[in-house]
Copies of this chain bind each other. A is one copy, B any other.
């Protein structure tokens, strides 16, 4: 019987929202699903060369982000706060043995997750094919649609 299939659209480029597509994709492929990730909009930041481990988060506009102490929004705008929040989240992941975004990306590639970069988004954002990591294909919404129509699970992250 053919494997079940999953597609994930990765549209966010923050450190926190880079994790769900990669964790779900690597889990699914380990369970013998065929997985395609379509990187579009800000999600392209994840697959730019040497950028996966430079993604940032911001506490601004997300009162659900756990912080060691309540941060008033005005203070959260200080330049140092984004760096602090990013560094804090990275250390929380590391402390609990969760792989970095870069490592998950490598794992996804090695384990056969098909990765497609959205050419239209690249054009709009001025990203060249040479800016994108090796092993990623290029396509459009129709490429994703073809895969999604044959998949049992499709997610937009």
Contact = CB atoms under 8 A, between A and B. Distances in A.
B156 A20 contact: yes
A23 interface: yes
Contact of A79 (B58, B74, B149): B74
A27 interface: yes
A16 B62 CA distance: 11
A109 interface: no
B153 A156 contact: no
11 contacts: A24-B141, A27-B141, A45-B64, A55-B63, A56-B63, A56-B64, A59-B61, A61-B61, A73-B79, A73-B82, A74-B77
Contact of A155 (B30, B33, B45, B156): B156
- Closest 5 CB pairs between A and B? A13-B64, A61-B61, A60-B61, A42-B64, A56-B63
- How many copies the complex holds: the figure is 3
Contacts of A76: 73, 77
Contact of A141 (B14, B23, B123, B140): B23
